[in-house]
Structure 1
Amino acid sequence: MSRRIVVVASMAGAPGVTTCAVALAAAWPVAVDGGVRPVVVEADVSGGDLMIRFGLPDAPSLLDVASSAGRDQPGSLLGAVSELPCGVRVVASVPGRGACRGAVRLLAGESGRRVLRGDDTDTGTVLLDVGRAGDDTEPLIQDADQVVLVTRGGPEALTQVSTCGLDPRAYAGRLTLLVVGPCPYPAGEIADVLRMPRVVVWPWDARSVAALSGAGRMRPRTAGPRARPLMAATDELVRRLTGAQGLAARVGGRAQEAQGRGGGPGEAHWSRVGLVEVPGEGSSR
């Protein structure tokens, strides 16, 4: 047994990938990993956010983990862990693109991925925040047990997802689309047009984000009648990622149809009145 890897990424822009990764860690049920708490690892080639956001020291960091990956006896991932005020364990990365890109490339190599996974005695989950997906992070995405693709809910952002050439079938059930913030389209409609079997709409609310950022006095609630909408949706997403039965309504029948359809994802046009698929290569129309 080794650690589970969940990659959190975006195709473009800054839709809140790091906040999503921290929220997932806050909501993660430790019982599925034998009581071991998850670890968020910042592996964004553009540099980290958590050091500045939480005033963390610049060492240990992702640079230490990456530099040890090529040694005969690599260091422990957990040796570089810091803890956030909301109770989440993180391996933070320094700000700035220069050093981080090299560190991510090392981490994406075979020896780096072994450090992330650990050995047969290691358990737990690594939530890998890779920021914007690209060539440098492709090996990490391909090796992941689950991939959460984060996008905003507006027409432009959803169009970018539709035209990026992503084929959900290639992920064999490992891919979830997380739609952040206000979104005029229901999850089932998005799943139908993009042929995404799993779509979760993530309502952005300032109180939950403040709690995750250390500005609130209490840790965010993830379940129960007092749970904020963002954290309740996060709890549902975690249940899907871990295979547990969720409490909220599932994506409708169209999402199930999308999973069984042939052909690659067609180009889509997002109108104010709904989603209109434009026939093109791989379209069924």
Structure 2
Amino acid sequence: MTTTALALAAVWPSEADGGVRPVVVEADSSGGDLMIRFGLPTSPSLLDVAAASGKPYPGSLLGAVSELPFGARAVVAVPGRGPCRAAVRLLAGEGGLGVLLGDDRDLGTVLLDVGRIGEDVEPLLEAADQVVLVARGGAEPLTQVSAYGLSACAYVSRLTLAVVGPCPYSAAEITTALGVERVIPVPWDAKGVAAMNSPRPGGRRTAGFRPPPLLTAVRKLARQLAKSSGDETGAAGTGSDRAPGSCGRQLVGRSRADLVEVPGVEEGAS
């Protein structure tokens, strides 16, 4: 599921297409993966953002951002449930939500990787512009999705279900059974996942290049989320007309999409 969030960040509509480069935030109560995966230092991290959220002037989320090898940027979490659970609870409070959402001068998107649905992350889901639930395409994981009673959730109108891998059911059947209006298939793409660990998969392409199926599918999802959240109009003030040093106030905050998972989605497969 973290891979899905990173893929979204990698293919988010570019500034040339009217988008703003997003920030992935690992807000998983169970702990983060990216710090170990990419050999990043323990600071800055989600803990720094959570600690600053209670201050009168918490500052910009960009102060805790790490650049990842393939061109995305992220606020990573430390491994381990204890500190991350406490950090997520702070982030879900009024001060933390204020940091994530930014103010009237902030433009752009924060992609929250919140792990599994639970009490700790409910305030984050309720405050999100869009929520993406990631699940495998088999009968068992989709049955687990139905157990959440999504049709009664406050955010059901903002929910997209991303179904990863082969699925015996059509999107129409899933919509009818689960009460989720938007269902999008995401291929099981081992090569695409491997590409996420290569330098800048979203960078310059040679003639005849064909993007991996994972990125092709997720690009469609990214465009839907950006359009629904209004981020396609969020590029005002970006580009060559912006003064050096003003990036920090322009690239974070106003729209937000949360990604959650259900049991059965293995990391590296989503």
TM-score bracket, shorter-length normalisation: 0.7 to 0.9
Q: CA, structure 1 residues 136+172, in 2 after alignment: closer, same or farther (shift >3 Å)?
A: closer
8 Å contact kept, 2:19–2:226? no
8 Å contact kept, 1:68–1:74? yes
Superposition deviation, residue 36 in structure 1: 3.0
The gaps in structure 2 that reach 5 residues or longer are 229-270
Aligned length: 226
CA distance in 1, matches of 2:12, 2:225: 10
CA distance in 1, matches of 2:123, 2:221: 24
Superposition deviation, residue 240 in structure 1: 1.5
8 Å contact kept, 2:126–2:154? no
TM-score of the aligned structures, taking structure 1 as reference length:
0.74
Give the aligned residue type for 1:219: P
Q: Which of 18, 26, 34 is equivalent to 2:10? A: 26
Give the aligned residue type for 2:119: D
- The residue correspondences of 1:113-128 to structure 2 (distance < 5 A) are 113-128=97-112
CA distance in 2, matches of 1:187, 1:237: 15
CA distance in 2, matches of 1:184, 1:172: 23
Q: CA, structure 1 residues 116+163, in 2 after alignment: closer, same or farther (shift >3 Å)?
A: same
Q: CA, structure 1 residues 85+217, in 2 after alignment: closer, same or farther (shift >3 Å)?
A: closer
CA distance in 1, matches of 2:153, 2:211: 34
8 Å contact kept, 1:69–1:107? yes
Give the aligned residue type for 2:24: V
- The residue correspondences of 1:128-207 to structure 2 (distance < 5 A) are 128-167=112-151, 170-171=154-155, 173-207=157-191
Q: Which protein, 1 or 2, shows the higher relative CO under an 8 Å CA cutoff with sep ≥ 6?
A: 2
TM-score of the aligned structures, taking structure 2 as reference length:
0.78
- The residue correspondences of 1:83-122 to structure 2 (distance < 5 A) are 83-122=67-106
Give the aligned residue type for 1:210: A
CA distance in 1, matches of 2:204, 2:12: 9
Partner of 1:219: 201
CA distance in 2, matches of 1:149, 1:222: 31
CA distance in 1, matches of 2:204, 2:174: 25
Give the root-mean-square deviation of aligned CA atoms: 2.2
Partner of 1:8: none
CA distance in 1, matches of 2:20, 2:199: 25
8 Å contact kept, 1:147–1:176? yes
CA distance in 1, matches of 2:17, 2:83: 32
Q: Which of 204, 210, 226 is equivalent to 2:194? A: 210
CA distance in 1, matches of 2:71, 2:46: 19
CA distance in 1, matches of 2:93, 2:40: 27
Partner of 1:81: 65
